[in-house]
Amino acid sequence: MAVVTIKHHPELTAEAAMTVFQKGFAGKYEVYKWNRPGGAKDFVVKKSNLIGVAVKLKHEKDKTGFTFVDFIPSMLMTLLIAGVLYSLFSRSSYQAMMNEVKTFIENAPEFN
């Protein structure tokens, strides 16, 4: 799991943050609301059925930040082949996408 702290934005909602991601990654990645049980994350940045990043907006007393983790967006793929594919040949793709999301958060003017 990665964490990026941004300028304190107590007014920032998860929906507004997701909109920033949708605009920033338009035409490259699909960005949509987290739809798995439990509400562990707010939204997903999806490259493919096998490669994605789940993002959560976090507000604390004097700071705002994002936590995010790589994951497999497709529940079916998760159940069938997750561990094997992840460990065999997709790790570098997950790391690259995590780095891209981190860089996006750090550089988006709406978050600074």
Q: Scanning the structure block, which residue is given the tokens 């998860």?
A: 14
**pLDDT for the residue numbered 86:** 58
pLDDT in tens, 70-108: 887 876 555 556 556 555 556 788 889 999 999 999 999
C-alpha–C-alpha distance, residues 67 and 80, integer Å = 27
Tell me what the pLDDT averaged over the chain comes to: 88
**pLDDT for the residue numbered 77:** 55
How far is residue 41 CA from its own chain's centroid?
Answer: 8
8-state DSSP, 41: -
- Cα 4 to Cα 68, 73, 99, 102, distances in angstroms: 9, 22, 11, 7
Q: Is 2-107 a domain of CATH 3.30.310?
A: yes
**pLDDT for the residue numbered 75:** 61
Q: Is the pLDDT of residue 3 over 90?
A: yes
Tokens standing for residue 64: 């705002």
Domain ranges within the chain, ordered by starting residue:
2-107
C-alpha–C-alpha distance, residues 74 and 62, integer Å = 36
pTM, whole model, 2 decimals? Answer: 0.88
Going by C-alpha positions, the residue among 81, 82, 85, 18 that lies closest to residue 46 is 18
